């Protein structure tokens, strides 16, 4: 095993097991901040979204944004957590230039959600329940920018006070891959719930990874290191895999792991200790006296539950059982809420579920990929796609006409209907079999030698006949019908 300058033999690597727990910060996509009416919009001009509360001017008082409670309850319900009825906020005290209050409002001993789990499926198909410890509500700090000015560090307080949910897992993950899959699954879930945009480039989800190793069979957990602020799935996986090897190599060399806070350098792929100043860990938590305790009632929880969309695992179940789709299809279709919703609205108009899935996973997705756009920017109505599927099933349209011509026109003229376009483009299929029989006869007579080959066992030439028939008919035939007539006629020639 090799990573950076670290080499470890496979035998030694396999003596150990890694133990990983993640703390994921989910930035909530609320309109206003957690405890003030300042805008929570991303990308505003620096220091534009700030009022006395964000600036912590004397006398400014926080007020809880109800949306953060709603989001926490949604996520808690989706993850099967125990939702705590009586909530308090705490102050976590530390001094930093991007934290004007000198403390962060968070929840310490009594988080809004306890327990819960998230099922993940690994690349080898194995499933695993990732057990959660808790979810708590808190606010973000501002941003310090160290690389824009030669002399000064710049501070942007737009992010100060943006609401976060911190999702803390138990130390149950065992590799970079498991952590990466868990993080991605969590991202998918918060996007489904509509509580976070999951935009990793903008820092909407950031993760601290706690990593330790121990000899296999050992009960006690090893000393852990915490890699801070990982903001992409790839970096998360890389940082963990590197850190596991580093810790093993330290222990193998007779050293001990010191509990440390680390930084991951994406360019080198290495972890290194943060300055000790940032590691000082004495937060003097105490209850936030400016906010009232917050009671979440059963009625509130059931109202939130009713308002929630179907979750990806529920849709997966529906797609594989009721709609009889292969697991692969169900997985792709539920990978994003917009895709699942498009599929669901398509199958309102057609009962050919597999064809709807094929269209979405194939033609439509490659179109979206080509254009570099998402499903929510796709302009062709699901009803039109269903109409195409139904026309193909009736034998009034064939696949190549549908994909190569009709679909292309629909994307250009989304306001036109399938029927209009079929007339305009003269696409309808000749249902007149006498015409079709003539096409078949002429192809069979032109390729008489191939007919002989067919009768001598070379069945592959059928493809050539079909291709020729499509050509002479200019594609205006039903391939199923053509195939049937072709087989009948060729048999008669024997």
Q: Which residues bind ligand ADP (CB under 6 A)?
A: 19-23, 133, 168-171, 210-212, 221-222, 224
Burial of 179 per CB tally in 10 Å (0-12, 13-18, 19+): buried
Instruction: Identify which of residues 236 and 332 has a Cβ nearer to ligand ADP in the complex.
Output: 236
Instruction: Identify which of residues 107 and 210 has a Cβ nearer to ligand ADP in the complex.
Output: 210
Instruction: Identify which of residues 21 and 479 has a Cβ nearer to ligand ADP in the complex.
Output: 21
Instruction: Identify which of residues 50 and 165 has a Cβ nearer to ligand ADP in the complex.
Output: 165
Q: What is the distance between the alpha carbons of residues 472 and 444, in angstroms, rounded to a whole number? A: 12
13-52 in b/e burial notation, b at 16+ Cβ within 10 A?
Answer: beebbbbbbbbbbbbbbbebbbbbebbbebeeeeeebbee
CB 389 within 8 A of CB 356: yes
Instruction: Identify which of residues 222 and 479 has a Cβ nearer to ligand ADP in the complex.
Output: 222
Give the shortest CB-111-to-ligand ADP separation in angstroms.
Answer: 10
**Which region, left, alpha or beta, applies to residue 255 given φ > 0 means left and ψ of -120 to 50 means alpha?**
beta
Q: What is the distance between the alpha carbons of residues 188 and 198, in angstroms, rounded to a whole number? A: 8
Instruction: Identify which of residues 247 and 398 has a Cβ nearer to ligand ADP in the complex.
Output: 247
Q: What is the distance between the alpha carbons of residues 266 and 254, in angstroms, rounded to a whole number? A: 28
CB 244 within 8 A of CB 176: yes
- Total Cβ atoms within 10 A of residue 405: 16
**Distances from the Cα of 263 to the Cαs of 144, 155, 227, in angstroms?**
16, 21, 6
Instruction: Identify which of residues 220 and 434 has a Cβ nearer to ligand ADP in the complex.
Output: 220
Closest to 72 in 3D by CA, of 106, 104, 101: 106
Helix (H, G, I), strand (E, B) or coil at 421: helix
Pairing of strands 260-265, 225-230: parallel
Give the shortest CB-76-to-ligand ADP separation in angstroms.
Answer: 17
Give the shortest CB-180-to-ligand ADP separation in angstroms.
Answer: 15
Give the shortest CB-211-to-ligand ADP separation in angstroms.
Answer: 6
Give the shortest CB-93-to-ligand ADP separation in angstroms.
Answer: 15
Give the shortest CB-133-to-ligand ADP separation in angstroms.
Answer: 6
The dihedrals phi and psi of 130, each to the nearest 5 degrees, come to: -90, 115
Measure the CA dihedral 385/387/393/397, to 10°: -90
Instruction: Identify which of residues 212 and 237 has a Cβ nearer to ligand ADP in the complex.
Output: 212
H or E element that contains 326: none
Q: What is the distance between the alpha carbons of residues 296 and 365, in angstroms, rounded to a whole number? A: 42
CB 176 within 8 A of CB 68: no
Give the shortest CB-228-to-ligand ADP separation in angstroms.
Answer: 11
The residue nearest ligand ADP at its CB is 21
Closest to 210 in 3D by CA, of 243, 182, 180: 243
Give the shortest CB-79-to-ligand ADP separation in angstroms.
Answer: 14
Give the shortest CB-210-to-ligand ADP separation in angstroms.
Answer: 3
Give the shortest CB-131-to-ligand ADP separation in angstroms.
Answer: 9
Instruction: Identify which of residues 281 and 369 has a Cβ nearer to ligand ADP in the complex.
Output: 281
- Token pair, residue 410, equals 């629909």
Helix, strand, coil shares of the chain, percent, nearest 5, are 40, 20, 40
Instruction: Identify which of residues 170 and 252 has a Cβ nearer to ligand ADP in the complex.
Output: 170
The per-residue DSSP string of 251-300 comes to: HHTT--PPPEEEEEETTTTEEEEPPHHHH------EE-TTS--EE--HHH
Give the shortest CB-130-to-ligand ADP separation in angstroms.
Answer: 10
The per-residue DSSP string of 129-151 comes to: EEEEEEEEEEE---EEE-SS-SS
Give the shortest CB-4-to-ligand ADP separation in angstroms.
Answer: 21
Instruction: Identify which of residues 117 and 489 has a Cβ nearer to ligand ADP in the complex.
Output: 117
Pairing of strands 154-156, 294-295: unpaired
CB 340 within 8 A of CB 359: no
Give the shortest CB-218-to-ligand ADP separation in angstroms.
Answer: 11
Instruction: Identify which of residues 15 and 403 has a Cβ nearer to ligand ADP in the complex.
Output: 15
Instruction: Identify which of residues 62 and 176 has a Cβ nearer to ligand ADP in the complex.
Output: 176
């Amino acid at each position: 095993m090799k990573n950076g300058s670290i080499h470890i033999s496979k035998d030694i690597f396999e003596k150990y097991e890694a133990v990983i727990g993640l703390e994921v910060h989910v930035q909530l996509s609320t309109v206003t901040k957690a405890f003030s009416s300042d805008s929570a919009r991303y990308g505003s001009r620096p220091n534009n979204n700030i009022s006395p509360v964000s600036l912590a001017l004397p006398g400014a008082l926080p007020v809880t944004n109800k949306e953060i409670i709603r989001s926490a309850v949604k996520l808690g319900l989706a993850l099967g957590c125990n939702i705590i009825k009586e909530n308090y906020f705490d102050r976590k005290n530390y001094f930093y230039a991007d934290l004007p209050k000198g403390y962060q409002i968070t929840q310490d001993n009594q988080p809004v959600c306890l327990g819960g789990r998230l099922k993940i499926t690994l690349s080898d198909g194995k499933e695993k329940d990732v057990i959660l410890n808790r979810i708590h509500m808190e606010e973000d700090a501002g941003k310090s920018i160290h690389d824009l000015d030669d002399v000064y560090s710049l501070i942007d307080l737009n992010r100060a006070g943006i609401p976060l949910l911190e999702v803390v897992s138990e130390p149950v993950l065992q590799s970079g891959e498991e952590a990466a899959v868990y993080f991605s699954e969590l991202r998918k879930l918060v996007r489904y719930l509509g509580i976070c945009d999951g935009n990793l480039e903008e820092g909407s989800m950031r993760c601290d990874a706690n990593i330790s190793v121990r000899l296999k069979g050992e009960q006690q957990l090893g000393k852990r290191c915490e890699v801070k602020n990982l903001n992409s799935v790839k970096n998360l996986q890389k940082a963990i895999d590197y850190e596991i090897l580093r810790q093993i190599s330290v222990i193998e060399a007779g050293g001990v792991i010191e509990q440390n806070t680390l930084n991951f350098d994406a360019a080198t792929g290495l972890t290194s200790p943060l300055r000790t100043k940032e590691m000082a860990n004495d937060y003097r938590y105490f209850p936030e006296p400016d906010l009232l305790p917050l009671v979440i009632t059963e009625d509130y929880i059931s109202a939130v539950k009713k308002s929630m969309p179907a979750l990806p695992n529920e849709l997966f179940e529906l797609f594989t059982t009721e709609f009889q789709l292969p697991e692969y299809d169900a997985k792709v279709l539920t990978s994003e809420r917009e895709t699942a919703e498009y599929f669901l609205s398509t199958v309102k108009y057609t009962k050919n579920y597999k064809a709807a899935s094929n269209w979405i996973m194939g033609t439509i997705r490659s179109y979206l990929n080509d254009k570099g756009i998402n499903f929510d920017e796709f302009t062709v109505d699901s009803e039109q796609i269903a109409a195409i599927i139904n026309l193909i099933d009736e034998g009034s349209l064939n696949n190549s006409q549908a994909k190569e011509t009709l679909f292309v026109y629909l994307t250009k003229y989304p306001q036109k209907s399938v029927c209009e376009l079929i007339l305009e483009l003269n696409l309808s299929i000749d249902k007149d079999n006498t015409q079709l029989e003539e096409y078949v006869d002429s192809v069979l007579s032109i390729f008489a030698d191939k007919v002989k080959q067919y009768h001598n066992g070379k069945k592959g030439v059928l493809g050539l006949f079909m291709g020729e028939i499509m050509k002479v008919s200019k594609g205006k035939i039903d391939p199923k019908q053509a195939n049937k007539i072709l087989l009948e006629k060729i048999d008669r020639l024997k």
